[in-house]
Amino acid sequence: MVEGEVWKHVVQKGDTVIDATCGNGFDTLALLNLVADDDSHNGYVYALDIQKDALDKTSLLLEESLNSNESELYLNKLRSFRLIAFNLGYLPGGDKEIITRSETTLLALEAAKRILIPGGLIGIVVYIGHPGGREELEAVETFSAKLSVENWICCKLQMLNRPCAPIPIFLFRR
C-alpha cells in the first residue's frame, strides 16, 4: 500500500486524521495505529462513509482489532487535521452500483483543503477500472492542478504497464 508508506512520513502520534471513505476499515485501523498515543491519550481518526454497510464493517474490524478505549469514534468537533484519506470508487465486496462521484468528491476535497494544517496531506487513491472512474480521476487532477504552487505540492503515481491500476494522488500542504 503505497499511500500507507507516505502516511508514515506525515502523520505523528497524537494527530487527528480523517478516513473520508472508510470502506472495510483497513485504512482506518492503519491510521489509528499511526496516531494512537498511549502516553497522552491523544490521536483521533474520524471514519466517514456514505454507506452504512461500510461504517458497520469498519466498526466490526475496530472492535475485533482494538480494545474499547482505542476504538472510540470522536465526532462533531471542529479541528484541524494532518491527514485526510480518500479511496474513490466502490466498497470492495459491496454493491458496485454505489460509487463515489466527481461532484461530491470535489466538494469533499474543497472541505479537506480548508481543514488541513500546514505540513499535512490529502491522500487520494482513485480506482479507474469502473464506470465513472476515469472521469473522477480527471476531476481530481483538475482540482489538484489549480492548487497554488506556493501552498501545495501535488503529485500522482501511475503504473505504466497496468492501465487500470489504482492511482495514488498526494496533495501536500506547505
Q: Encode pLDDT of 88-107 as tens digits.
A: 999 999 999 999 999 999 99
Regions of the chain with pLDDT less than 50: 73-78
pLDDT of the residue at 76? 36
DSSP 81-102: EEEEEEEESB-TTS-TT-B--H
pLDDT for position 128: 96
| Reported pTM | 0.83
CATH topology of domain 2-173: Rossmann fold (3.40.50)
Q: What residue spans define the domains of the chain? A: 2-173
Tens digit of pLDDT for each residue in 49-71? 989 899 889 989 988 888 655 55
pLDDT for 75 equals 36
